[in-house]
Every structure is written in C-alpha cells, then in structure tokens.
Amino acid sequence: MRGAIAALRWHHEAMSRSPAKLKSALICLACLSLTACAGRTPGEHLADMPHWMGGEPAGVPPRRGTAEYDTWMAARAQEAARPKTEQAK
C-alpha cells in the first residue's frame, strides 16, 4: 500500500512539472512569433547578426533595392567593361 501511495505522489509531482515546461515552451514560441511580426524577413534579421552568431559572412553583396546595391552593381559593371588584355602569366 505504501508503494502505491509513493507512486501516486511521484506521479503527481511529475504531472505538476509538465505544465511548467509547456508554459515555457509556449512563451518561447510566442516570442519567436512576435519577432516574425516585426516587419522584417528572417534574412534581414540574419544580415544584422554578427558572423560568429550565424549572420552573413563578410563580403556578401548588399541587398537589391538599396543604394549600396546600386553602387556595388555600378562598380561591377565598370570592372566588367575594363579591358582584360593585361593578364599575368
């Protein structure tokens, strides 16, 4: 009989821990969902993160539609128009 009571107590303690974990998981999910509603895409979030945290590496071209992108494309076009006859052998 004592074994059954001990098992019920253990089961009750395990049941009371489960809602706390579920509540924590739902809060985390809500926080992630709210960041998705911030008006920025996940790629834009990653672009602002440092490389060591999983952001984009150095040397990645700028995003289309920005002034930096237009400048970068103009520099690429200028490089492509340059004569390539002076190549090292």
pLDDT tens for 29-69 read 887 777 666 666 766 666 677 777 776 777 888 888 889 89
Q: What is the pTM of this model?
A: 0.39
As a whole number of angstroms, the distance between CA 45 and CA 53 comes to 11
Q: Which two tokens stand for residue 34?
A: 């709210």
CA dist., res. 9 & res. 63, Å (int) = 59
Contacts of 62 (CB under 8 A, 6+ apart): 68, 69, 72
